[in-house]
Amino acid sequence: MNTASKDLSTESCLDLCRYIDASPSPFHAVAESVRRLEAAGFQELSSDEGRPAAGCWYLRSGGALIAWSDAGCEVDAPLRIIGAHTDSPNLRVKPLPDQGALGLHQVGVEVYGGALLNSWLDRDLGVSGRVVVRDGGRRVEHLVRDDRPVARIPQLAIHLDRDVNDKGLLLNPQVHLTTIVGAGLAEPGAFVKTLAALADVDPVDVLAFDAMFHDVVPSCLSGPDREFVSASRLDDLLSCHAGTEALIATAGKESRRGAGQTVPVLALFDHEEVGSVSATGAAGPFLQRTLRRFVNLDERRVNGGLVLSVDGTHATHPNYMERHDGEHRVLLNGGPVLKFNAKERYATDAPGAAEIRQTAEKAGVPLQSFVSRSDMPCGTTIGPATASGTGLRTVDLGVAQLAMHSAREFCGSEDPWLLGRLLEASLAG
Ligand code: ZN
């Protein structure tokens, strides 16, 4: 990578770090994308409105967001959709969380998604989420967050667990993840009081909450030449960031030239880490309903339509080479990765891969290919659900990373910018 590209790539990564740090929960990720879209002239629609004039619009629902720009587009111009997910594995606070012993206030948690549980130990944790509050005759939703180190799950000392380094760490999520959030025995409702203070409301008005913990250490570029990114929630906020910025850049270009041959769409879904089956997940109706109601889905040409399902990919781990297919090494800073799976856990097919290879070639973006070992099960993502829901050709791809689903993940610092260039080139059709 030459110096000019390296500078752009570093700036893009620093912006990614800002995006991730602004987004401790899926609701905050949507809010951060909305903030950026609004700054670029996108306007909000509510789900029950009629079809608006062509323009730059978005619709949000909880941890999900659909945005598009159809200004100057023909009614049958095909859709170019970037999909990604806002949720990451973490620890979610139970509805009646307060407990504790020995003069400590603790809260009970559930594990959300396939979290690497060990990575949540001995880490300073903040709390974030949303609370729904009674406000006169209405219910109002507040986003809340506390980035101070207000919670901790201390690991058992090795003296009391002598075999841990030989036999591995076993954690019972019901017992061993109960989180210390303060000194003093918990009164009933103590945790709600904390959330109410964050929302600046009276605790008696808090009707319900969705709250979760996050690592409070800010994201950063790491390595002697800043060749890596060290951050929480790279899976999949990296793709949410790249998709948001690609849509903004594409919409900006379209308004300059006055007509678009394709309609760029951004679809950020919640609940991918728990299977996508929800009102705001990729297997739910949110995308299709929005595209039907507002973006003329059924009249649009299928030819030229495309969904890019963008999600984190496993880089080959240098300490565990045997866990990866020997002919499909995936390198950090080797460029975005096309993901293949014969059982359709990824939706990429030959025509889709061929198109992306040509787009990447034109944009000067290197590409890699991932496939699982044949004797190991493969993960999945939003690609298959989006492909079956929209009927459009779908390609699964993403940036390579290590430590996927750890509270702190790791990737190359050139790949996010390369992904952004590829997405932009692809949105343009
Ligand atoms: Zn993911």
Distance 369 CA to ligand 1 centre (A): 17
Q: For 92-101, 319-328, 383-392, which range has the lowest pLDDT when averaged over its residues?
A: 383-392
pLDDT score for 334: 97
Distance 222 CA to ligand 1 centre (A): 22
Q: E strands of 200-262, at which residues? A: 206-215, 220-222, 228-231
pTM (two decimals): 0.96
pLDDT score for 252: 85
Domain 90-215 has CATH 1.10.150.120: no
Q: Which residues contact 170 (CB under 8 A, 6 or more apart)?
A: none
Measure the CA–CA gap between 79 and 264, rounded to whole angstroms. 6
Kindly tell me the burial class for residue 257, based on how many C-beta atoms sit within 10 Å of its own C-beta (0-12, 13-18, 19 or more). Answer: exposed
Superfamily of domain 3-87+232-428: Zn peptidases (3.40.630.10)
Cα–Cα separations (whole angstroms), residue 140 to 44, 137, 208, 255, 369:
18, 10, 11, 36, 46
Q: 255 falls in which pLDDT band (50, 70, 90)? A: low
Mean pLDDT of the chain: 94
Distance 312 CA to ligand 1 centre (A): 5
Measure the CA–CA gap between 78 and 89, rounded to whole angstroms. 34
Distance 235 CA to ligand 1 centre (A): 5
Distance 273 CA to ligand 1 centre (A): 7
Stretch(es) of the chain classified as CATH 3.40.630.10? 3-87+232-428
Per-residue pLDDT, averaged over 137-155, amounts to 97
Condensed to tens digits (0 to 9), the pLDDT of residues 40-91 reads 999 999 988 888 999 999 999 999 999 999 988 888 999 999 999 999 999 9
pLDDT score for 256: 46
φ, ψ for residue 224 (rounded to 5)?
Answer: -60, -30
Q: 388 falls in which pLDDT band (50, 70, 90)? A: confident
Stretch(es) of the chain classified as CATH 2.30.250.10? 90-215
Condensed to tens digits (0 to 9), the pLDDT of residues 190-224 reads 999 999 999 999 999 999 999 999 999 999 999 99
pLDDT score for 257: 52
